Chains A and B, each alone.
Chain A
Amino acid sequence: MSTLTDPSAVPSGGRHSLFRAGLRRRATPYLMVLPLMGFIAAFTYIPIAASLNLSFREWDFLSPDKPFVGLDNYRLLLSSHEFWNALKVTTVFALISVPLRLLLALGIASYLVRETLPSRFLRGALFLPSVTSTVAIAVVFSWIFSTDYGLMNAGLQLLGAPKVMWLQDPQLALFVLILVNTWKQLGYDIIIYIAGLQAIPQELYDAAAIDGGRRRHVFRRVTLPLVMPTTYFLLVISVIDAFQVFTIVDVMTHGGPAGATDMLVNMLFRVGFTLFDIGTGSALAVLLFVLLIALALIKSRFLGRNIHYGS
């Protein structure tokens, strides 16, 4: 390490090198940040602008020009049954799976919060699916819920009940997907809740115990309000997850039967990469993007008050 290249030492070569040393010192953080920022700009921010631009055009990926069609793509989407069906299915998926995940996770986490060996083991077991391949999980559960060779129907038969066509029944398929998604994500939610619960100062519980608070009461008055930031974080994450669910649907039902499990991202994939209707696909991507940002904003307004004061 020579002092000649040291920006913090006084350079020995007069004004010119003083200027250069200063320049280098000022350039350093930019040089370090630039590579990552370049990737983020090229593959996240420019594409958002590109999506918006393409959503006002008509293009099939092959033809040489992309005529501007104004809001036609949006009009087409908003008047199609396909879009409203996908929006409905995705909303139902989110409305059921998000509360299910959070309630189960908080309930289980409050039992596993202690650092004992059994609780650590259970945490590990519950966490495992969340780092496991979603495709593999979807394949395994397709098999478990398969009509003729599945574990579920084998169990039903043992009880003398008839076989159920889990993934072919429009009423049931969506619930199977919700179940599989919950099974996969639950461990992650639990780990986050445990960290949130462990951050609550023990003195508050001690004080509640001195006041003679009953367990349920303490949970409602101490635990629940104080894990509110964690709940808020998980709510945001899991709603975004739910509106972006794709893999388990693509593998297990492919949107069927009869569109009963057709989610927004599956529709986006179909319109964009099977039909190569780039304009409509981009319009769908923009609508979904706007929807998710709106949801995040509504939630922060709605929950903002509760985070600090509790209910």
Chain B
Amino acid sequence: MARENRWLAALALLGGLLFLSPALYSIAVSFQTAQSYYQGGFDPTLDNFIRAIGQYDFARYLLNSVIVSGLVTLIGLSLATMAAYAFARFDFPGGNLMFAATVATLMIPSHITLIPNYLSLARVGLLDSYAGLVLPAISNGFAAFFLRQYIKGIPRALDEAAYMDGARPIQVLWRVIVPIARPAILSMGLFIFIGEWNNYIWPLVAVGREDLYTLQIGLARLYKLNPGEGAVDWPLVMAASTITILPVLAGFLLIERHLVRGITMGALK
């Protein structure tokens, strides 16, 4: 029995590594000199990362990605938590309709909003700004839907007790609901952050100024910049791709369980 387990473990390890081998190999290449990459051998260097940051401003793109994803997460999560609490705990005229409109955003393909959002942000002069990147991304009902389901599962008696003590609804939300729902809120925060971090089409549409590029735009431009396939500086491109992947990868390894719970609960409820 123990031997069988060890075999299974080895097989799983091998299968997992094989599956991830494209990504792992690309990370390895990002630490290689161009010369050793094209001629064989392994000559470790940080030169590709230094060039990605020095020549191509990937530090700036990284900062932009952190700012944009951070703001979307912070604002989106706050608004979603408040709305979720109201949907879960209050019976008010129009509430069901608004909840349905919130849930429906999950099924509405986002491409239909691309052109109008571009036009309206252009009209108010918000293209090429952080606000232009952040604001449309808040219009997402997933977190509110998910948190509403979660809050419904919290016993109402806890709210009542707080009301007895003279708390107002916003205080009940902040002192009773938020502490209990913290794991779910955290999961949703990660979910929003990762989704926004990897967002490509909207920044591509909304931003033309290079100092506002996010990592995704910077990486795609760097790759497309190279004329013809033979001329691509692969180790440099792989270093840029590693910079793009690594923060989420590190976060993922820390909090995999929260993330998986968030995703599966959203799907099954």
Contacts and interface: CB of A to CB of B under 8 A. Distances in A.
Interface of A: 1-3, 5-9, 26, 28-30, 32-33, 35-37, 39-40, 42-48, 50-51, 54, 61, 116-119, 121-129, 131-137, 139-144, 146-149, 151, 183, 188, 191-192, 194-196, 199, 230, 233, 236, 240, 243-244, 246-247, 250-251, 265, 268-269, 272-273, 278, 281-282, 285-286, 288-289, 292, 296
A240 B13 contact: no
Nearest to B136: A43
Interface string B130-170: 00000110110100100000000000000000010111111
Chain B interface bracket (under 10, 10 to 19, 20 to 34, 35 or more)? 35 or more
Contacts of A123: 260
B166 A47 contact: no
B80 to A, nearest CB: 6
A44 B90 contact: no
A33 B81 CA distance: 9
B262 to A, nearest CB: 11
B117 interface: yes
B11 interface: yes
A177 B244 CA distance: 21
B contacts with A: majority SS: helix
B12 A272 contact: no
16 contacts: A6-B163, A30-B92, A32-B82, A33-B98, A40-B101, A40-B139, A125-B17, A146-B229, A192-B267, A244-B110, A246-B111, A268-B111, A278-B115, A285-B114, A285-B115, A289-B111
Given A135-B244, A151-B25, A296-B107, A39 B79 contact: yes
A30 B98 CA distance: 10
Nearest to B243: A136
A246 B109 CA distance: 12
Contacts of B71: none
A contacts with B: majority SS: helix
B215 interface: yes
A133 B115 contact: no
A282 B79 CA distance: 30
B216 interface: yes
A244 B107 CA distance: 12
A95 to B, nearest CB: 18
Contacts of B197: 133
A6 B168 contact: yes
A132 B248 contact: yes
Contacts of B200: 134-135, 246-247, 250
B22 A43 contact: no
Given A5-B168, A35-B82, A282-B115, A139 B237 contact: yes
Contact of B112 (A121, A135, A269, A286): A286
A26 B92 contact: yes
Contacts of B171: 1
A123 to B, nearest CB: 8
Nearest to A272: B115
Given A36-B102, A139-B220, 4 more contacts: A121-B9, A127-B260, A142-B223, A289-B109
Contact of A143 (B113, B114, B237): B237
Contacts of B26: 140, 143
Contacts of A143: 26, 232, 234, 237-238
A195 B8 contact: no
B86 A29 contact: yes
B230 interface: yes
